[in-house]
Structure 1
């Protein structure tokens, strides 16, 4: 049996169903047209079904859709360069952000590093929205090893109890966070002064 090809009107209805979290309508669309066309639905601003679900905090719809769409849709950008994770951060939906980042086979924590047209990452959007819980979670899970490339591995004797992390967004705003496991200062100059 061959599946029908959705018209633009059906794709627009799918986007609305995702925006409002109407899982039954989304399921009916998939039954009629199959899951392959889910990735093709975009609104006039380039938003995908995942933008709609993530931006509006519809966890049940997201859980239904994630296994059906290509993992590349998790990092799809709209016309403003924002991903679904940007929208989840902007609208302070922690469970959605967690599901997007933790989805097996998806881009994972790399999603946190994607910057939109304004130069903000999802962490920057969380900070800009004043969403402390989300910003804290992003910092806890993001890949901080990228910043430490080329540094030698620390010995246990060189690790202190806490580390203060400062992350600056594109607008120059700084977020501070204390995490467990800090390296002790070992950058002494010739005269014993630290640099």
Structure 2
């Protein structure tokens, strides 16, 4: 079976389908051009199909695309140096962010450390837009050199004997996120705070 070569217009239509989460149209593109064509599709700003679906929180489209694409595309950067995870964080899409980080065979939690041209990681983007839920999740699953925790099945567990572990992470602009891991503090409503 030979597949035809997509035109620029075909790529534009694919990326628009990804932007709007139209899985049926994405499947038609793959049926016509094959899965390899998905990996080379980029818009004028260097955004891939994964940027479009992750940035718009289309988890059904992510579920379809991830097994078809090379795992290296999870870390693909657009012209601004942002990965699909940056876009998921910027637009506060936790299920999409989780699928990107947890995809078997992909870069995993290392995606959280990639900085864009503005010097921000996906965690930094989450902090910039005030997305506390996402920032907290990133901190819970990311590789931490200190703190005594261990990562196991996507969750960070406190070291033996530690009730709470407070982690501070400073982004490129000097913003500090403080997050307490472990048991929830008694009487405290806020789980993460930003201060300058």
Is TM (by shorter chain) over 0.5?
Answer: yes
User: How far, CA to CA, are the matches of 1:107 and 1:120 in structure 2?
Assistant: 18
Establish whether residue 25 from structure 1 lines up as the match of residue 25 from structure 2: yes
Bigger Rg, which one: 1
Deviating 4+ runs (over 4 angstroms):
none
- Residue 46 of structure 1: aligned partner: 46
- Residue 173 of structure 1: aligned partner: 175
Partner-residue secondary structure (3-state), 2:77 = coil
User: How far, CA to CA, are the matches of 1:41 and 1:179 in structure 2?
Assistant: 40
TM-score normalised by structure 1 residue count: 0.85
- Residue 143 of structure 2: aligned partner: 143
- Residue 104 of structure 2: aligned partner: 104
User: How far, CA to CA, are the matches of 2:89 and 2:33 in structure 1?
Assistant: 31
Partner-residue secondary structure (3-state), 1:160 = coil
Gap runs ≥5 in structure 1? 149-154, 182-195
Partner-residue secondary structure (3-state), 2:104 = coil
For residues 93-150 of structure 1, give each alpha carbon's deviation from its aligned partner in whole angstroms, at most 9, with x where no partner exists: 00000000000000000000000000000000000000000000000000103x58xx
Establish whether residue 134 from structure 1 lines up as the match of residue 134 from structure 2: yes
Partner-residue secondary structure (3-state), 1:177 = strand
Q: How many residues align?
A: 173
- State the Cα RMSD in Å: 1.6
User: How far, CA to CA, are the matches of 1:31 and 1:166 in structure 2?
Assistant: 48
User: How far, CA to CA, are the matches of 1:95 and 1:179 in structure 2?
Assistant: 20
- Describe how 1:150-189 pairs up with structure 2 within 5 A: 159-180=161-182
Tell me the CA shift for residue 6 of structure 1: 0.5
Gap runs ≥5 in structure 2? 148-158, 184-196
